[in-house]
Amino acid sequence: MKKMRNAWGHFKTITTHKMLVMKYCFRIGLYRQGILHDLSKYSPAEFRTGILYYQGNRSPNAAEREEKGYSEAWLHHKGRNRHHYEYWVDAGQKGTKGMVGIKMPLKYVMEMMMDRIAASRTYKGDAYDDGAAYEYYCRARNYEDMVIHEDTRKLLETLLLMLRDEGEEKTFAYMRQLLKRGTY
């Protein structure tokens, strides 16, 4: 019975999240990405983890990571979804050591922003405000461990701060302008 409740709860959570991202992507003209966003969460590799580690107030991947030291579902997810900066990590070329962040295409940065807003709104519920996505980002970021291209990080932080300080309408209008321009 608990697994059935967890399955239904997880399904509702990821579907609510996906629908919010779709709505936000549509508002800035990213229709294809809005429709296709996070479809891998419904795959057995990710959905199974969602059932086993479902709590309703945070990602099941975090709970799986706490138990195992890593999350198989997250490794599957980030490798299939270009709106995660972790997708854009590769081995450095000559003269660089280790892994490096590749500059993300603009449309995926925009989808990443919508993903963060929707996740914050989904998990915070009525306690959500326009600063929630930035607050979550600040709690989770560690510049020493974060492998993200500097331009991508700057744009993401600019958008998160704009959302916090100036609201959704102005931020989404700015995002539409950037998409028309096609670069950052």
| pLDDT tens-digit map of 20-42 | 999 999 999 999 999 999 999 99
The 3-state DSSP class for residue 139 equals helix
pLDDT single digits (tens) 139-165:
887 766 789 999 999 999 999 999 999
183 vs 106: CA distance, rounded Å: 6
Domain span at 31:
2-181
pLDDT single digits (tens) 51-73:
999 998 889 999 999 999 999 99
HEC string of 9-77?
A: HHHHHHHHHHHHHHHHHHHCCCHHHHHHCCHHHHCHHHHHHHHHCCCCCCCHHHHHHHHHCCCHHHHHH
Q: 148 near 51, Cβ under 8 Å?
A: no
Angstrom distances, CA of residue 120 to CA of 52, 65, 117, 132: 22, 20, 5, 6
Q: Which residues of 55-77 are buried (b: 16+ CB within 10 A; e: fewer)?
A: eeeebbbebbbeeeeebebbebb
Number of domains in the chain: 1
- What single DSSP character describes residue 142? -
pTM (2 d.p.): 0.93
50 vs 111: CA distance, rounded Å: 22
155 vs 178: CA distance, rounded Å: 11
Question: pLDDT above 90 covers what percent of the chain?
Answer: 88
Q: What is the pLDDT of residue 145?
A: 76
23, 44, 45: which is closest to 34 by C-alpha? 23
Angstrom distances, CA of residue 73 to CA of 52, 66, 92, 161: 11, 13, 26, 30
